[in-house]
Amino acid sequence: MANRKTTSALDEHLGYWLRMVSNHVSNGFARKLEGHGATVAEWVLLRELFDVEALAPSRLAERMGMTRGAISKLADRLTEKKLVARADDPDDQRAHRLSLTVAGRELVPELAALADENDASFFADLTALERANIEAILRKIVVRRGLKDIPVS
Amino acid sequence: MANRKTTSALDEHLGYWLRMVSNHVSNGFARKLEGHGATVAEWVLLRELFDVEALAPSRLAERMGMTRGAISKLADRLTEKKLVARADDPDDQRAHRLSLTVAGRELVPELAALADENDASFFADLTALERANIEAILRKIVVRRGLKDIPVS
DNA sequence: ATGATGTTGTTTCCTAGTCAACTAAATTCG
DNA sequence: CGAATTTAGTTGACTAGGAAACAACATCAT
């Protein structure tokens, strides 16, 4: 037993490699979105609204793993851009309902194409088996640990 | 050819699952670090300095994938906490050299233990084979795409 | 050696989040 | 019913980063 345990290096953690790849994927996507005047958070919000008639900010906050404050400001920006509309909830004087404008609805498929492209190009180096493997493993972690939203930070 | 292509959902992208898991790992680690008064960026900087006598802020910026401005402020916080010391570079009047203080050097193994624990607990659900697989796949992406730093954003 | 160019680190301004306090409205319960 | 509590959304103070301008110094080409 000659060696004391040595302080582990950054890259000895699986989390390190995960963060490296994940941040590059998100970053690449963010750069692609920039060209269309959108951010990742904006894309996610728009996509969430896409297959629903309308949604309350609070629900979006839960689904997106952001605070209500953040959603409030995000919605401000998107209404400013005329991509999202705020309407009063007829059943609850406090509540709002966010929905896509026509322009917003038209933008979603365009951004979805960028997302597809980004994902495809990033994982193009992998074999079909590798892609299936990594997805299965990630899903397993999500299920086992009961992860439900994506914390932004 | 009955069906038009449908707008892809968020979770149809590998990047989605990657981000979900990666953000949870980082977030969990951040919460653990909080109890020790440190942030993830601080941990990374301290760990980078750990196996080197001293390093210029610019080098750290490259290695950490952050701007020099960000490193400047990060170094401010760490010197404020007496974990890092700034010294003039004798060979270059512009340059500085950052190094760990005794307290900083003592803190690193403590935080490394947290990192180990966080990583282990997070991937505990996986089999050894799954862990080996995901690491190999992530490393392959890093190599193939020539990723060298971790963009923070 | 000197003038152009490049590099180092800091600083200012901006962005997009968090957190906590707040207002108004809804709900619960005694 | 009416008071206490909960919920919805906004706001303000704060944080950690990026981008770009900057001053000081170094390097390089003549």
Q: Is the pLDDT of residue A30 over 90?
A: yes
pLDDT value of position A63: 94
Token digits of residue A28: 């690449």
Asked if residue B146 has pLDDT above 90, the reply is: no
- Spatial distance between the Cα atoms of A70 and A42, rounded to a whole number of angstroms: 11
CB-based contact, B4 to chain A, within 8 Å: no
Distance between CA atoms of residues A133 and A115, nearest Å: 21
B-facing residues of A in 65-124 (CB < 8 A) are: 108-109, 112, 115-116, 118-119, 122-123
Q: Which residue type does B117 have? A: E
More confident residue, A8 or B151: A8
Please report where in the chains the tokens 């900010």 appear, as a residue: A57
pLDDT per residue over B28-52, tens digit each? 999 999 999 999 999 999 999 999 9
Cα(B145)–Cα(A129) distance, rounded to whole angstroms? Answer: 19
CB pairs under 8 A between A and B: 169
Stretch B131-148: mean pLDDT: 93
Closest CA to A150 of A41, A76, A56, A52: A41
Distance (Å, whole) CA A46 – CA A57: 12
Is beta strand A96-100 parallel, antiparallel or unpaired with respect to A84-88? antiparallel
Residue range A71-98, pLDDT digits in tens: 999 999 999 999 999 999 999 999 999 9
Structural domains of chain B, with CATH: 19-144 (1.10.10.10)
- To the nearest whole percent, how much of chain B has pLDDT over 70? 93
The gap between B56 CA and D18 C1' (Å) is: 20
Alpha-carbon gap, residue B112 to A74, rounded angstroms: 36
Q: What are phi and psi of A103, to 5 degrees?
A: -60, -40
Nearest Cα to Cα of residue A140 among B125, B96, B106: B125
User: What is the distance in angstroms between the Cα of A86 and the nearest Cα belonging to chain B?
Assistant: 23
